[in-house]
Amino acid sequence: IGAPAAPASAAMKAGDVLCLENTRFQKAEQTNDPAFVAELAKLGDIWVNDAFSAAHRAHASTEGLGHKLPAYAGRTMQAELDALEKALGSPVKPVIAIVGGAKVSTKIDLLENLVTKVDALVIGGGMANTFLHAQGVQIGKSLAEKDLAATALRIMEKAEASNCAIILPVDATVSYHFAANSPSFAYGLDAIPPDSMILDVGPQSTARIHAAIDDAATLVWNGPLGAFELTPFDRGTMVAAKHAAERTKAKKLISVAGGGDTVAALNQAGVASDFSYVSTAGGAFLEWMEGKPLPGVEVLKV
């Protein structure tokens, strides 16, 4: 803002492109300061937001400018919103969601929203251990948030009331060490050794997830099914990702995925380009899946 930005903007000719400093270096950006927004608005005639990944932030350049200048979505934003509409807004049914990752605590809002929107919800990763513990399964030394057992049961009750099938692991791949290539064993849930930890879904669970994907017309995916960063505990995630990609290529599935670990897992499986859409966003994708309005999108509707 100010000099030298204003003179440089004023001197532009048709076809010119002017790059200015990253607004995130300005404290007034994150506070959405009206005076800062007004100064930014002086530099242009219209505002195009192409940053879906920042759309969950009501900052000066991601939301404030939309109240000062004629506002438009850029092509990447448009593609993202179109894909998300197909995934949960008005999807082709039946819809399945795969949600994984380490902690239930970071995805409570997500799970509570999804069970009212999808026909089946696959829960994997460390999150699944919390749900299994809540059901009385002995999970050994596995990662779990045992204090959230009541929350897990509440989510399962809400799913049942909404006719959403919760698909939890029926067996597990376990190890005694959290390390790549440590010896691993498949166990039924009634036989998890007390000094072992669950690091991936087991073969029967993988088959069950396959069947759920086969039954679906739309898939929304956020989070890996196991410790995918360590071999061989990436198998559940890799196999499911490849299966979903095959169904998508055969035009039998609309597949939308997002979130940092999810994108990394799909790239690791070599199938990211085969999904219908892979979101560029982390936090914004998560908040959208939680059913929360995104300030950077809402201002475009005004």
pLDDT in tens, 92-141: 999 999 999 999 999 999 999 999 999 999 999 999 999 999 999 999 99
Question: Residue 296 falls within a domain, yes or no?
Answer: no
- Shared domain for 180 and 194, answered yes or no, is yes
- Shared domain for 38 and 149, answered yes or no, is no
Q: Which residues contact 26 (CB under 8 A, 6 or more apart)?
A: 1, 36, 60
User: What CA–CA distance (Å, rounded) separates 237 from 261?
Assistant: 11
What's the rounded mean pLDDT across residues 36-62?
96
Question: Residue 302 falls within a domain, yes or no?
Answer: no
Residue 260: predicted pLDDT: 83
Residues facing residue 76 across a β-bridge: none
Is the pLDDT at 280 greater than 80, yes or no?
no
- Shared domain for 210 and 279, answered yes or no, is yes
Question: Residue 137 falls within a domain, yes or no?
Answer: yes
Q: Residue 9: which CATH number?
A: 3.40.50.1260
Q: Which residues contact 41 (CB under 8 A, 6 or more apart)?
A: 47, 65, 68, 69
Say how many Å lie between the first and final Cα of the chain, rounded: 26
Kindly report the average pLDDT of the chain as a whole number. Answer: 96
Is the pLDDT at 266 greater than 90, yes or no?
yes
CA-wise closest residue to 236 among 172, 181, 182: 172
User: What CA–CA distance (Å, rounded) separates 260 from 293?
Assistant: 21
Instruction: Quote the number of domains for the chain.
Output: 2
Question: Residue 163 falls within a domain, yes or no?
Answer: yes
* Residues spanned by the domain of 48: 5-73
Taking the CA atoms of 5, 58, 27 and 37 in sequence, report the sign of the dihedral they define. positive
- Shared domain for 84 and 50, answered yes or no, is no
Q: How would residue 56 be classed by pLDDT, with cut points 50, 70 and 90?
A: very high
- Shared domain for 231 and 157, answered yes or no, is yes
Q: Which of 9-18, 66-75, 239-248, 274-283 has the lowest mean pLDDT?
A: 274-283
- Shared domain for 15 and 147, answered yes or no, is no
- Shared domain for 34 and 83, answered yes or no, is no
- Shared domain for 110 and 212, answered yes or no, is yes
- Above pLDDT 70, what percent of the chain? 100
CA-wise closest residue to 172 among 136, 143, 203, 207: 203
Q: Which of 73, 96, 112 is the last residue of a domain?
A: 73
Q: How would residue 283 be classed by pLDDT, with cut points 50, 70 and 90?
A: confident
Structure pTM?
0.91
pLDDT digits (tens, 9 = 90+) for 184-224: 999 999 999 999 999 999 999 999 999 999 999 999 999 99
